[in-house]
Structure 1
Amino acid sequence: MSERRSIFEEVSDETPKQVAQPGAIDRGRRGARGAIRVWLMMLFALVVIMIAVGGLTRLTDSGLSITEWRPVTGAIPPMSEADWQAEFDKYKQIDQWQLQNRWMELDDFKFIYWWEWGHRQLGRVIGLVWALGFAGFLIARRIPPGWTGKLLIPGLLGGVQGAVGWWMVASGVTQGEGMTSVASYRLAVHLGLAFAILAILAWYIFQLGREERDLMQARRGKEAKLFSLSTGLLHFAFLQILLGALVAGIDAGRSYTDWPLMGGQIIPPNPLMIEPVWRNFFENPGLVQFIHRCAGYLLAIFAVVVWLRGRRSAHARTRFAFNAVLAAMAVQIVLGIVTVLYAAPWHIAILHQAMAVALWVLILRARFLSLYPVSTSLRGA
């Protein structure tokens, strides 16, 4: 017999109440944001290493040691002395050996060959890491909505970069044309594309570090003027990177080793000595280095202007980001001067290039925070 129940007893179906959980709407749609971010960080690190290895390949004059473009079979290096001799014989046919490196023996050739082979091999590794990661997340259906096309872009640009790399090398693999290095403007395109890929990866990493709802809310507090100025600074820095590639392409950094003057003058001697005149802007070492210096001064001034605006931001992390940009800019200027004074030895030159990468990423970070500021509560402050 059932027990009597009081008329005042609360009637309940004894079903536990559902507790609202914030963010439940996007939880099922967020995809593997954390895992994708780690994958992109791996690609980012590999691209940074690739830029450094590419710089060392240029500084050691190794870029023309492999005279053919074999995207698949080129992954296998020479396996016997006969194979090595065959590669060396191909190298002997081009102008760089005929005009510059006739002193080389087989062992000397092996040194520059391994640098270029390693550079190309690293490119293959980057392509493989991207392809495996993209395919894995796509098959598992773990890519967040709207991100499939975005994640496809670095892979496509990586393929273009491989073709641009050979287009660059082909400009120096010549016979009877007097070319002992690659065309400087092609080197600039190659390096510029590498920095563009790096920027895309960095931006995606910044975005995936925060939830979509957080980014949407932060976007409402966008500091439009600061974002515009930092975008201009980013473009100016990119131009300076391209000018630096022109300097590296013709070893212009070793042409005048005094500072602040050049050959005892403000403007270097014979700035327009090559005919036609336009070629001086690409091939005249004195003029190319002069333009790179002047652009550096203007970039530094503009960086101070942007920093003065950035320090007025209401957000502590944004202010810190622009402080970091100014500090990196100061270090880069000092490295640039030291590089010139010591005639661009490889260890200082590669440090100057590495600092350019760091400065580039710091500008991107500051720009990102001006678009998506992180608010700090009074308690947090």
Structure 2
Amino acid sequence: MLLTIFQTKRPLSGLVKTQRAFDPRFFSSNASSSSVGVAELPVLSPPPVAMWLLTSSVLVFAVIVVGGVTRLTESGLSITEWRPVAGILPPLTQADWEEEFEKYKRTPEFKLLNHKMNVHEFKEIFYMEWGHRVLGRIIGLGFVIPLTYFALRKRLTATMPKQLFGMALLLGAQGALGWYMVKSGLEDSLMDTPGAVPRVSQYRLAAHLGTAFVLYAGMFATGIATLMDWRFARKGEWSGIKGSEETWKAVVNNPIVKKFARNSKALTALVFVTALSGAFVAGLDAGLLYNEFPLMGGRLAPPADELFSKAYAKNEDGSDVWWRNVFENPTTVQFNHRCLAITTYACTALLFASARNPAVRAALPPLTRRMVASAFAMANIQVLLGISTLLYLVPIPLAAAHQAGSVALLTTMVHLLVSLRRPGMAAQAWRRAAQQAKTASKVAQ
């Protein structure tokens, strides 16, 4: 990218002597050379770093959706081993397929549900799970290799390496967690449990999905923030506002904006919890119960003895009856998800309504106003998808769209929060240097 070049030969408050204000080389080295004397400024990550992070977040979005389809098609237990390297290739010969199919035949899922399945039908569910795993490996390589390059080239701002290497470790842990989840559905003990259905633990499923949400939000937020910092350093534009440093400081320090930001953070947390509760619904197939809305069996809530059934308690004194019903009773899990979803929608509507208040609207940056409107629009779409999924007995296209909608809603809320953050310290330093260079250039003329 070609950038406007400022040059000056006069000292600028001891900060800049002679410099190209947005020299890409300066972002990576920040060191003066014999030909160009440059006082040190902090590294400011260029747009390629932002594009890499946003691309990574898109891939994580995709793997979440593919993972949802894998579960909906009951394909997740088709691969009975975790081979991080050798598992990249699927079976290549008919003998390989027969060997893989024999392994699947020893699983509880085949014995209890799919004992009539042939090898051709097995291939369909195998490729679904294989594709999910391969996409996860692609994300890992697509994140770690550029991260190493940008780190060695010193293209990352001071706070980014720690965050991004943490994400890289979380990506590795996510693969292990995925296998830990699958393993729960392959245990032979399921054969000894009356009425047991071969499926993964809803706790492990929620942990696996929750980790993916955290990774997605982290990559997306960091990518957007990096892009915004670059624009601020180059053009002085912040969340749709262009002006001096005092302009954006007045916005973020405004009590109205601070209160709005607190409410937005609380709503983002609620969106995350609601999405996570959906993992328990999926893990227990709770969406196949009470396929009506807004009532459940002709009433607002099922009977108390059904919501808190003693059959789910494992302690003799029944002390665990409450929390086990919350997380293990399909009826209670669906009811909780409904309550959380309704609460999330209501809070999103309230946040949108507050942003329409003239005083609040005047105080918020343009980007924030657009994001809160987007969040409310996405919340409406998500509610319609959720109700349709329930009424039509969880068809795969609607259920997958509903899971994707949860990520989309989280995206709008994360973008909203980023729109209210201050420009990074590196971006502020670069902006001040550019302004000083421009001022000195005018004085020299």
Q: What is the TM-score with the length of structure 1 in the denominator? A: 0.88
Q: Distance in 2 between matches of 1:110 and 1:335?
A: 30
SS at structure 1 position matched to 2:385: helix
Structure 1, 169-178 or 321-330: larger mean CA deviation: 169-178
Q: Which amino acid aligns with 2:388?
A: V
What's the offset of the Cα at 1:17? 7.0
In 2, the alpha carbon distance for the partners of 1:17 and 1:330 equals 54
Amino acid at match of 2:355: G
Query: Higher mean Cα deviation, 217-226 or 190-199?
Result: 217-226
Partner residue of 1:228 out of 262, 269, 288: 262
Any conservation in 2 of the 1:59–1:346 contact (CA below 8 Å)? Answer: yes
Query: Which residue is 2:312 aligned to?
Result: 275
Question: What SS is found at the alignment partner of 2:155?
Answer: coil
Which of the residues 189, 199, 211 maps onto 1:193? 211
> Is the 8 Å Cα contact of residues 33 and 144 (structure 1) preserved in structure 2?
no
Q: By how many angstroms is 1:324 displaced?
A: 1.1
156-165 vs 298-307, greater mean Cα deviation: 298-307
* Equivalent in the alignment of 1:290: 335
Pair 1:254-2:304 in alignment: no
Match of 1:329 among 346, 365, 379: 379
Q: In the alignment, residue 238 of structure 1 is paired with which amino acid?
A: F
Give the whole-Å Cα distance in 2 for the aligned partners of 1:328 and 1:372.
Answer: 26
Q: Which residue of 2 aligns with 1:98?
A: 111
> Which deviates more from structure 2 when the two are superposed, residues 220-229 or residues 166-175?
220-229
Which residue of structure 2 aligns with residue 338 of structure 1? 388
- Distance (Å, rounded) in 1 between the aligned partners of 2:118 and 2:328: 30
* 2:285 partner amino acid: D
**1:256 is paired with a residue of what secondary structure?**
coil
Q: Are the counterparts in 2 of residues 247 and 292 from structure 1 also a CA contact under 8 Å?
A: yes
Corresponding residue for residue 303 of structure 1: 348
Which of 37, 41, 44 in structure 1 is aligned with 2:50? 37
1:211 paired residue number: 229
How many Å apart are 1:196 and its aligned residue?
Answer: 0.5
Candidates 413, 424, 429, aligned match of 1:363: 413
- Aligned pairs (5 A) from 1:117-196: 117-177=130-190, 178-196=196-214
Bigger shift: residues 282-291 or 185-194 = 282-291
Cα 1:275/1:317, change in 2 over 3 Å: closer
Q: Does 1:108 align with 2:126?
A: no
Secondary structure class of the residue paired with 1:221: helix
From the superposition, tell whether residues 322 and 263 of structure 1 become closer, same or farther in structure 2 (CA, over 3 Å).
same
Letter in 2 for 1:310: A
Change (3 A) 1:82 1:310: same
* Structure 1 residue 286 displacement after superposition: 1.7
2:77 corresponds to which residue?
64
Instruction: Name the CA distance, whole Å, in 2 between partners of 1:17 and 1:71.
Output: 55
1:5 corresponding residue in structure 2: none
Partners of 1:176 and 1:145 lie apart in 2 by 50
Q: What is the aligned-residue identity percentage? A: 37
Q: Which amino acid aligns with 1:46?
A: L
TM-superposed CA distance for 1:228, in Å, is: 0.8
Q: Is the 8 A contact 2:54 2:224 kept in 1?
A: no
1:320 corresponds, among 370, 373, 382, to 370
Cα gap change, 1:219 to 1:343, in 2 (>3 Å): farther
Contact preservation (8 Å) 1:172, 1:179: no
Residues 1:174 and 1:257: Cα distance change in structure 2 (over 3 Å): same
Q: Look up the SS of the partner of 1:173 in the other structure.
A: coil
Distance 2:202 2:159 in 1: 38
Shift of 1:143: 2.5
Match of residue 379 from structure 1:
none
Query: Any stretches of 5+ residues in structure 1 without a counterpart?
Result: 1-15, 374-381
Residue 386 of structure 2 aligns with an amino acid whose one-letter code is G
Secondary structure of 2:334's aligned partner: helix
Aligned length: 358
Q: Is the 8 A contact 1:224 1:371 kept in 2?
A: no
Q: Which moved more, 1:294-303 or 1:339-348?
A: 294-303
| In structure 1, C-alpha distance between the alignment counterparts of 2:307 and 2:157, rounded to whole Å | 54
Q: RMSD across aligned C-alpha pairs, in angstroms?
A: 2.3
What are the Cα deviations for residues 294-333 of structure 1, in whole angstroms up to 9, with x where unaligned?
1111111221222233332322222121111111111111
